[in-house]
Structure 1
């Protein structure tokens, strides 16, 4: 049995990330560096550097061990991409052992300057990490999807007994400090997770509708993402089973392309129980004149976290940016049966708030 796939959700193979900020005393070109470890069929295995520029664009440096994907988009990162190049990443280490993290790497940037980072904790004190939905989409100017980035055991680098050496072109760079103690320990603003899950929630690059053949369990799987339908072709769940923790996206009632009725419902994005969940509403209406459906989707209930410490109860209050940023994303799409196309647009309402402020 064939069914029209009404939307696309992509799974990103980023497994680890570490973000090192020096915004208070930026370099002449950069104000932060992000190390990512990637392991996925299309990319291979290897490391990537996202270099955050002072003009709010990013430069992306891929190690040669990764498969270079031309025209890869980075529209959910600030103003988007400036340059994407391949280079040699040397002296790379990114591990957390007995509660201590070690982050090291070295490469040359677009100006042929050597950049080296070495951050090694030596603490004997226990640190309590948190589970976080990263607000990476807050400043996206032209998002192609809503970035749902779950960071398990997310933590900030401790200052006590940590060896830090960050250099750009031979000049020492002072990394930013976190303004208050966390779990009775002073921290840097540098943070990391060695267990990440990222999905591109409803990617608007999916413009040409396709019909897919369901298996005997009424499902269709592509790149680790399983779309599960009912016997009437309604999309019930999308299951991401790649990675350490499954993610289940559920539509209630099922999202159905039905010419005989308009539809309103709820959707949820649920990872492991310790991470909480995202909820929202969707609406789909049939237009007889254009032979198309109008879909509107809003994650209006935001993220409901599961705090695991006093600091996370403070950070993840119901009105915090962490819980509310997804509420200000919304999708409007036209799904045309006449020419089998999908034309969608995500709007990031967080930008309006920043303009008002």
Structure 2
């Protein structure tokens, strides 16, 4: 693909303000655990997802997502956690109920020998829920990183959920005490179908370093144009735009969002055009890449831009899905066999409409799941 659009797409004038219609929102999280028992479900739930927080946005404490058989979610959380319901609307068929809970026990630690969880609470019907895992394996864990396919369950997403899990591993069956009970009834945890690192695993998995990002949340509102002084870089807080010159225009090569431990990048080939300098009736396209750490691979797709007299229309489609970067042969085999890992982003499409109103621009954007 050509490395730059033709200069002829632009008006022959200067405009020292950049429009960036893209955004990443980082949702801090300390630890994440996913416990599946889909092969032995409860009357209401088929899985639990404990999450632990300790940050300025959420506060400090534990929540447990109850994955229901109807694919909605119930969120049980400790008092004092600051949560927004819209965060959980993109999970499965959406949020069913958010319930403040008194956890009798809220132990959730990741150690060298594995995971230690002792979580006890009552569900909204008054039933006692107990999740107990004590992994004491003598062999060292060999964790890896990936993009978790959380977005596959969302039916009507308001954003593309990108859950990068670092220090990720499965619970080993040997040397592990494991118990899931609901109202006194035991439920068998699902098992991983093939050995990993020479060991049999449960399908229960966890991350000691999740990096949770929502990409381009749907919005209706004003998009601020940024004035640039440096022709190569535009920094604002924890975001950065890397720019390149193309005739009278400055185009976006890369958009970066940083957190204290990680960063995520949106990269364009050729660079993304300066929208407020485009001529009427211009249509163009290119490729984009969403990248976290190298170990977690990349999402790849195409972008399209169309300008008419009054509006600019944008489309992002992750046509190539997620492309992993993993050295473990067993994990590569898993990705090849279980198509969901690589294919779920292909079912997402972002569309946006930009309209100039006076001296400002208004954006209307949304995500849709494709068949």
Measured against the shorter chain, the TM-score band is 0.7 to 0.9
8 Å contact kept, 2:268–2:288:
yes
Shift of 1:172: 2.3
Q: Which residue is 1:211 aligned to?
A: 224
8 Å contact kept, 2:285–2:305:
yes
Q: Which residue is 2:4 aligned to?
A: none
Does the residue aligned with 1:138 lie in a helix, a strand or coil? helix
8 Å contact kept, 2:221–2:363:
yes
1:166-245 equivalent positions in 2, closer than 5 A: 166-204=180-218, 206-213=219-226, 219=234, 221=236, 224-228=238-242, 232=249, 234-245=251-262
Q: Which residue is 1:247 aligned to?
A: 264
Distance 2:364 2:225 in 1: 19
Shift of 1:139: 2.5
Shift of 1:131: 1.6
Q: Which residue is 2:350 aligned to?
A: 331
Between structure 1 and structure 2, the one with the greater Rg is 2
8 Å contact kept, 1:57–1:80:
yes
Structure 1 residues 210 and 331, CA, compared in 2 at 3 Å: closer, same or farther? closer
Structure 1 length normalisation: TM-score? Answer: 0.88
2:328 matched to 1:309?
yes
2:68 matched to 1:53?
yes
2:321 matched to 1:321?
no
1:278-297 equivalent positions in 2, closer than 5 A: 278-288=299-309, 291-297=310-316
Distance 2:173 2:152 in 1: 28
Q: RMSD of the TM alignment (CA)?
A: 2.4
8 Å contact kept, 2:223–2:363:
no
Shift of 1:259: 2.8
Distance 2:334 2:125 in 1: 38
Distance 2:339 2:79 in 1: 40
2:359 matched to 1:346?
no
Structure 1 residues 120 and 216, CA, compared in 2 at 3 Å: closer, same or farther? farther
Shift of 1:135: 0.9
Does the residue aligned with 1:14 lie in a helix, a strand or coil? coil
Does the residue aligned with 1:316 lie in a helix, a strand or coil? helix
Structure 1 residues 287 and 57, CA, compared in 2 at 3 Å: closer, same or farther? same
8 Å contact kept, 2:48–2:67:
yes
Shift of 1:124: 0.6
8 Å contact kept, 2:217–2:366:
no
Q: Deviations over 1:198-220 (max 9, x none)?
A: 2111111x210232555755535
Distance 2:338 2:104 in 1: 42
8 Å contact kept, 1:158–1:187:
yes
8 Å contact kept, 2:113–2:136:
no
Higher deviation after alignment, 167-176 or 183-192: 167-176
Structure 1 residues 103 and 240, CA, compared in 2 at 3 Å: closer, same or farther? farther
Shift of 1:89: 3.0
Structure 2 length normalisation: TM-score? Answer: 0.85
1:56-67 equivalent positions in 2, closer than 5 A: 56-67=71-82
Shift of 1:63: 1.5
8 Å contact kept, 2:17–2:228:
no
Shift of 1:192: 0.7
8 Å contact kept, 1:76–1:136:
no
How many aligned residue pairs are there?
345
Q: Which residue is 2:118 aligned to?
A: 104
